[in-house]
């Protein structure tokens, strides 16, 4: 059992767009739940279910962000959308690995990828949304 700290909400993640920030906080809680399940060697079916929930919520959240960006003719829409697609692919890859039983040696890798992606994406790409006038 490893105890990864998970993601701690930081002010730098705030976009200034209430609906986006609320969903980001919910996503952080959901990802932290997946990390807890992985760390405590829970039944891998529980991890797969939790990852499925994260995948569904992330997909819906990305649709909201992408709608806001399209409405605002956001110049960095394509790279932002591509980053979203990369995370969805990564979550599916992690789910596939858990379903195949190929997870025991890779838990730290999975946790690291998830936390790094969310922290980096929130603090760089999403933080720019408000500055671009999106959601104002």
Reported as a single tens digit per residue, the pLDDT across 66-78 is: 999 999 999 999 9
Q: Does domain 16-131 have CATH number 1.20.120.50?
A: yes
What pLDDT digit, counting tens, does each position of 84-119 carry? 999 999 888 888 888 887 776 677 888 888 899 999
Query: Average per-residue pLDDT in the chain?
Result: 87
User: What kind and span of H or E run contains 58?
Assistant: helix 44-71
Closest CA relative to residue 129, chosen from 88, 59, 83, 75:
75
pLDDT of 45 reads 83
Integer CA distances (angstroms), 50 to 37, 46, 60, 72, 136, in order: 8, 6, 15, 33, 33
Domain boundaries, the chain: 16-131
């Amino acid at each position: 059992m490893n105890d990864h700290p998970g993601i701690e909400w930081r002010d730098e993640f705030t976009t200034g767009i209430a609906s986006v920030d609320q969903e980001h906080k919910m996503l952080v809680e959901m990802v932290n739940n997946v990390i807890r399940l992985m760390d405590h060697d829970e039944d891998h079916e529980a991890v797969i279910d939790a990852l499925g929930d994260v995948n569904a919520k992330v997909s819906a959240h990305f649709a909201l962000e992408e709608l806001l960006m399209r409405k605002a003719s956001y110049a960095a829409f394509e790279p932002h959308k591509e980053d979203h697609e990369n995370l969805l692919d990564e979550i599916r890859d992690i789910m596939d690995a858990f379903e195949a039983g190929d997870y025991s040696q890779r838990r730290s890798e999975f946790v690291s990828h998830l936390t790094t992606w969310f922290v980096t994406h929130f603090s760089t790409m999403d933080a720019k949304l408000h500055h671009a006038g999106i959601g104002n």
